[in-house]
Amino acid sequence: MVNSVLKAITERRSTLRFKPIQVDEEKIYQILEAGRWAPSWTNSQPWSFIIVTDSELKQQLSQAGLTLFSKGIQEASHVIIVVVDPTKDPFHYIEDGSIATQNIALASHSLGLATYWIGIFNLEGEKESAEGAVKEILKIPKDLRVISILPIGVPAYDEQSERKNLTDIIYKNYYGE
C-alpha cells in the first residue's frame, strides 16, 4: 500500500502496554495538531485536549473505573484527554470529539507510537460514572464532556488483528442486497 494515510489506517492497532520511554514533546504536539485539524460540524471545533504526564494524576486516572486499562495509563508517557463543549454544537459534539480522537490515534501510529481509545463518555453524564470521576480528577467544568482518554507511548509489543472481508459488509443501493 503506497498511500501513507491508508497505510496508517490499516496498520494502526490498539496497544495496551508501553515501554518505559519518554515520548518527545514535539511528537505530542504533532499528534495534537492532527486532533486540532479534525473536521467538525460547521467548523465548530468543540474540543480541547488535556495532556497528562504527572505520575500521580495518571495513577488517579487509572483508578477512575477503568480497571481494564489501568496499567497502560500508568505506563504511558503521555495521556491525552479529549474534552468537548456541547454548547458549541449541541447536535454533533460527540462525533466531532470522536473524529479528533481518531486523528490523534492515527497520528500517533504514523509517528511510530501507540495508543488505545478509552471511550468514557456517559450518555446520562452521571457524576458516579468513569467520565464523572475523570472530570473531578482533572477539574473539568461540569458543562463539558469527556469523549476519550488516549494513553500514548512506545509500544511494548506488536499487536495484530484481522478484519472482516469487505464483501461481507458492503451492499449496493439497499441494505442486504
pLDDT digits (tens, 9 = 90+) for 29-40: 999 999 999 999
pLDDT digits (tens, 9 = 90+) for 156-168: 888 788 889 988 8
155 in Cβ contact with 113 (< 8 Å): yes
Rg of the chain (C-alpha set): 17
**Entry pTM:** 0.90
How many angstroms separate the CA atoms of 133 and 52, rounded? 15
For residue 67, what pLDDT is reported? 66
pLDDT at 71 over 80: yes
Closest to 47 in 3D by CA, of 104, 113, 107, 96: 96
At 16, is the pLDDT very low, low, confident or very high (cuts 50, 70, 90)? confident
Q: Which range, of 19-28, 34-43, 62-71, 149-158, averages the lowest pLDDT?
A: 62-71
41 in Cβ contact with 95 (< 8 Å): yes
* Distance (Å) of CA 11 to CA 34, 47, 119, 134, 168: 18, 26, 21, 30, 20
Cell numbers representing residue 102 in the block: 481518531
CATH number of 14-153: 3.40.109.10
How many angstroms separate the CA atoms of 36 and 69, rounded? 25
How many angstroms separate the CA atoms of 44 and 93, rounded? 9
Q: How many residues does the chain have?
A: 177
